[in-house]
Chains A and B, each alone.
Chain A
C-alpha cells in the first residue's frame, strides 16, 4: 500500500466523521436555542458553534452576526468554508475517488452518492424540509459509510487507517462538543443547576445520541459531572473520548504488528489512553473541565500529526 492511499483512507474517515459531528454540533445549538434566553446569550451560543468548528477567522469575513440563519448558512452548505458539511463531504469524496480501486465498490458508491446529493442541495430545500431532517440525513449517511466500511472492507491496513481517521476526528469532536458548555453563558440571574443549565446538558447528551445511555447508567437526574464522565471516561459509550482512544490504540497496535515496528504515535496514543483509563472525573473538574478538554484536543492534534509523520504521505 502507498502512503498516499493510507492518507486518503485516513482523511476519508475523518471527513465523513467531521460532517456528522458538524451536524451534531448544529443540532445541539439548535436545541439550546429553543430555550428562552437573552439576545447576548443566544449570540454566544451560535458563536460557539463557529468557534468549535474552527471558523473564528473566516466567519466574520462573510457574516456580521452569529445567529441561526448565518451559522447554518456557514456550517451547512458554504463551499468556501473548508469545515462546512458540504466541504467535508466533498473532501471525503475526493479522498475516496483517489483510492476507489483500493476499497469495495459499495464504499465508493456510498461516499459518491452522498456527495452527489449534497452537491445539488440548496438552503431553501433544507429549510423547507426542516433543518432537523437535514441533520438526520447527514448522520444517516455517516452511519451508512461506517456500516459499509466495517461490513465490506477487508480488515487489513486499509481498514485500520480508515478507522484511525474516524476516531481521531470523533475524539476531537466530542471534546469540542463538551466544551460548548464552557462557551455558553447562562442567562442572567440563572445559575448553574437551573432549568436552562439542565436543558443545555440534556441537549448536549441528545446531540451525541447519549441521552438514553445516560439514563440507563445514571438515572433520570442530569448531573454535569456525570455527563462529563459519560462523554470522557466511559469506555462503553461509543462517542466517549475513552472509547475513541481505545479504538485508536487498537488500530495502531494492529499496524505495529503488521509492519513490525512502533513509532512515536504509539507511545503518545498509549500515554493518553492510560490517563483516560485510570483517570477520575473529579480530578478533571478540579483541574478545570475546559482546561482538560483543551489539553486533550491539543494532544489529539499532536497524535494526528505523528500518525501523518509515521505513516502518511506528508510524513
Chain B
C-alpha cells in the first residue's frame, strides 16, 4: 500500500519481489483459477434488478492487502474504541438519553429519525450490547491516518469474503504464506459463535442459535448459509419460526424446538409484521414480544440503525469523548450537513471537489463523486440538494491510499478501503483481517461491488 506518489511500504517487500518475478500470464491463470473456485463454491452475490445472470462473482484480486502488526494494533484499537462508544450511545438513547440532555447530539436528530425504534425504550439487553457485529468502513490517507467512512451497525455483510478470500489465496499461493507470518482469520466463525452464546438469555443453559435469512433471493444469501454452516447452526427463514407463549420455536420434523439467539440478516422493518411492516412475509409474528420479554436475544439488536445513520455519523467524535472520555483514534471525515444553510451554501459552491451522499443511501447508489462528475451530474445534484437538503451530506474527497492490484495492463495502484468486523459480547474482539474492497477502474474511488469494485485478501502480519 502506498501514499500517492510514494513507493510501497516495507511490509510489501516480499510481495513486491514475488510480483516482479511472476509473469502476467501466470497471475492471469491464477486469477481465473480463483474465479473457478468461487463459482464452484457458489460464492456469488445476486443482482436481480439489472437483468443478465443474476448470480455474479465479485472480482477477486490476487495481490493481498497487507498491514504490519503496529498498523493493525492502531487500527483495531481505534475500531474497538468506536464500537464501545456506539454501544454506549445506543444504550443511552433507549434509556436515560444523557447525551441528548447534555446537548451533544440534537434531540430531534435522534427522536425524529426513522431508525429510532420506540419499541426499544427501556429494554435491557445482556451486557448492554446492541450492535454485536459492526463492520467499520475505513480508508487510509497517511501513515497513521485512518478515516472512518461509515459504521455499519445493522447487518454488515462481507465476512464470508474475508474467509473465502483467505481460503482461495492459501490454495493458490501457498509459497507466499510460507514467507510471511499472516495472522489467521479462520477463527471468526468460532468467535462469532462464542459471542452469540455469551449474550443468550440467562435461562438458556445450552443456547440454541439460528441464523435468520430473508431467503435464497437475497443478495447475500450465500453468506448467510455459509456462516450458519461454519457455526453448525440452523439457517432459518421466517416461516421456520413461530412464537408461542412468549417463546420462539423453530419447526423441526421432531416437533418445535426453542430458539434462544437469533442472528438475523434482515432489516428491523421485516422482523415482525405485528410490530413493524404488516406486509412482511419474511418475519416472525410476535418476535418482538418474545424479545421484549427477554426470552430470545436478537443480533444485532432492533434499533441499532440509529448509530450508523449518516446524520449521526457527524457527531461520532463527540460521542466517543462523551462516553469514553478519550480522544478518537480514528478520524471522522469532515462532513457538511446540507440542512444547515451555511454548510449547504459551501457544498453547492464547491460541488466539483466534494463527494455527496444520500443520508439513507447505501451500496454506492445515489452518490456523486464531484471530481469525476460531468456537468450534467453536477447540475442534477445541485437541484436535488436544493429540493431535499435534509437528504444529503457532503464530504471532501480524500486522497486515498492505493494498493498494488493486478489489472489488464499488469500491476497498477488502485484505491482501496477496509471493513474489519468487530464482535461485542462479554468482551470486544476483532479478527485480524477484514474485507478489503478495491476500485478496479483507474482513478475510481468507488469500491462497492455493485459499482465495479473487487475484493482482496487482507493480511495482518504478526510481530
Task: Give residues in A with beta carbon < 8 Å to B.
Answer: 1-4, 6, 97-98, 100-101, 157, 161, 255, 259, 310-313, 315
Greatest chain B CB density within 10 A among A1, A4, A255, A259 is at A4
- Give CA–CA (A311, B229) in the complex, Å: 23
Inter-chain contact A6/B253, CB cutoff 8 Å? yes
- Give CA–CA (A313, B216) in the complex, Å: 17
* Residue B409 at the chain A interface, CB threshold 8 Å: no
User: Residue on B with the closest CB to A108?
Assistant: B42
Q: Which residues of A contact B234 (CB under 8 A)?
A: 1-2
Greatest chain A CB density within 10 A among B235, B250, B251, B253 is at B253
Inter-chain contact B239/A4, CB cutoff 8 Å? yes
Inter-chain contact A3/B240, CB cutoff 8 Å? yes
Inter-chain contact B251/A2, CB cutoff 8 Å? yes
Inter-chain contact B253/A157, CB cutoff 8 Å? yes
Inter-chain contact B251/A100, CB cutoff 8 Å? no
Given contacts A2-B240, A4-B239, contact A98 B216 (CB under 8 A): yes
A-B contact number at CB 8 A? 40
Q: Can you identify 21 A-B contacts, CB atoms within 8 angstroms?
A: A1-B234, A1-B252, A1-B253, A2-B240, A2-B251, A2-B252, A3-B240, A4-B237, A4-B239, A4-B251, A6-B253, A98-B216, A100-B225, A101-B225, A101-B228, A157-B253, A161-B253, A255-B253, A259-B253, A313-B251, A315-B251
Q: Which residues of A contact B237 (CB under 8 A)?
A: 4
- Give CA–CA (A96, B384) in the complex, Å: 46
- Give CA–CA (A3, B237) in the complex, Å: 11
Q: Which residues of A contact B236 (CB under 8 A)?
A: 2, 4
Q: Which residues of B contact A98 (CB under 8 A)?
A: 216
Inter-chain contact B235/A101, CB cutoff 8 Å? yes
Nearest-neighbour CB distance to chain B for A80, whole angstroms, equals 21
Nearest-neighbour CB distance to chain A for B37, whole angstroms, equals 13
Q: Which residues of B contact A315 (CB under 8 A)?
A: 251
Given contacts A101-B228, A101-B229, contact A313 B239 (CB under 8 A): yes
Q: Which of B235, B240, B254 lies in contact with A313, CB distance below 8 A?
A: B240
Nearest-neighbour CB distance to chain B for A169, whole angstroms, equals 19
- Give CA–CA (A264, B240) in the complex, Å: 23
- Give CA–CA (A313, B240) in the complex, Å: 7
Task: Say what secondary structure dominates the interface of chain A.
Answer: helix
Q: Which residues of A contact B252 (CB under 8 A)?
A: 1-3
- Give CA–CA (A98, B236) in the complex, Å: 10
User: Residue on B with the closest CB to A255?
Assistant: B253
| Given A2-B240, A101-B225: 19 more A-B contacts, CB < 8 Å | A1-B252, A2-B234, A2-B236, A2-B251, A3-B240, A4-B239, A4-B251, A98-B216, A100-B42, A101-B226, A101-B228, A101-B229, A101-B235, A259-B254, A310-B253, A311-B253, A313-B240, A313-B251, A315-B251
Greatest chain B CB density within 10 A among A2, A101, A157, A312 is at A2
- Give CA–CA (A273, B250) in the complex, Å: 33
Q: Which residues of A contact B240 (CB under 8 A)?
A: 2-4, 313
Task: Give residues in B with beta carbon < 8 Å to A.
Answer: 42, 216, 225-226, 228-229, 234-237, 239-240, 250-254
User: Residue on A with the closest CB to B215?
Assistant: A98
Nearest-neighbour CB distance to chain B for A266, whole angstroms, equals 13
- Give CA–CA (A102, B236) in the complex, Å: 12
- Give CA–CA (A310, B42) in the complex, Å: 33
User: Residue on B with the closest CB to A6?
Assistant: B253
Greatest chain B CB density within 10 A among A3, A100, A161, A310 is at A3
Q: Which residues of A contact B239 (CB under 8 A)?
A: 4, 313
Q: Which residues of A contact B253 (CB under 8 A)?
A: 1, 3, 6, 157, 161, 255, 259, 310-312
Nearest-neighbour CB distance to chain A for B389, whole angstroms, equals 45
- Give CA–CA (A3, B249) in the complex, Å: 12
Q: Which residues of B contact A97 (CB under 8 A)?
A: 216
Q: Which residues of A contact B254 (CB under 8 A)?
A: 259
- Give CA–CA (A157, B239) in the complex, Å: 21
Nearest-neighbour CB distance to chain B for A90, whole angstroms, equals 14
- Give CA–CA (A161, B254) in the complex, Å: 13
- Give CA–CA (A2, B225) in the complex, Å: 14
User: Residue on B with the closest CB to A311?
Assistant: B253
- Give CA–CA (A315, B240) in the complex, Å: 11
Q: Which residues of B contact A3 (CB under 8 A)?
A: 240, 251-253
- Give CA–CA (A6, B252) in the complex, Å: 8
User: Residue on B with the closest CB to A112?
Assistant: B42
- Give CA–CA (A101, B223) in the complex, Å: 11
Q: Which residues of B contact A311 (CB under 8 A)?
A: 253
Greatest chain A CB density within 10 A among B234, B237, B240, B252 is at B252
User: Residue on A with the closest CB to B224?
Assistant: A101
- Give CA–CA (A255, B225) in the complex, Å: 26
User: Residue on B with the closest CB to A259?
Assistant: B254
- Give CA–CA (A313, B225) in the complex, Å: 19
- Give CA–CA (A97, B253) in the complex, Å: 20
Q: Which residues of B contact A1 (CB under 8 A)?
A: 234, 252-253
User: Residue on A with the closest CB to B235?
Assistant: A101
- Give CA–CA (A312, B239) in the complex, Å: 12
- Give CA–CA (A2, B253) in the complex, Å: 7
User: Residue on A with the closest CB to B256?
Assistant: A3
Inter-chain contact A2/B216, CB cutoff 8 Å? no
Nearest-neighbour CB distance to chain A for B45, whole angstroms, equals 15
- Give CA–CA (A55, B250) in the complex, Å: 36
User: Residue on A with the closest CB to B250?
Assistant: A2
Greatest chain B CB density within 10 A among A6, A100, A101 is at A101
Q: Which residues of A contact B235 (CB under 8 A)?
A: 101
User: Residue on A with the closest CB to B251?
Assistant: A3
Q: Which residues of B contact A312 (CB under 8 A)?
A: 253
- Give CA–CA (A307, B253) in the complex, Å: 10
User: Residue on B with the closest CB to A94?
Assistant: B216
- Give CA–CA (A110, B263) in the complex, Å: 31
Nearest-neighbour CB distance to chain A for B309, whole angstroms, equals 34
User: Residue on B with the closest CB to A10?
Assistant: B253
Nearest-neighbour CB distance to chain A for B238, whole angstroms, equals 11
Q: Which residues of A contact B229 (CB under 8 A)?
A: 101
Q: Which residues of B contact A161 (CB under 8 A)?
A: 253
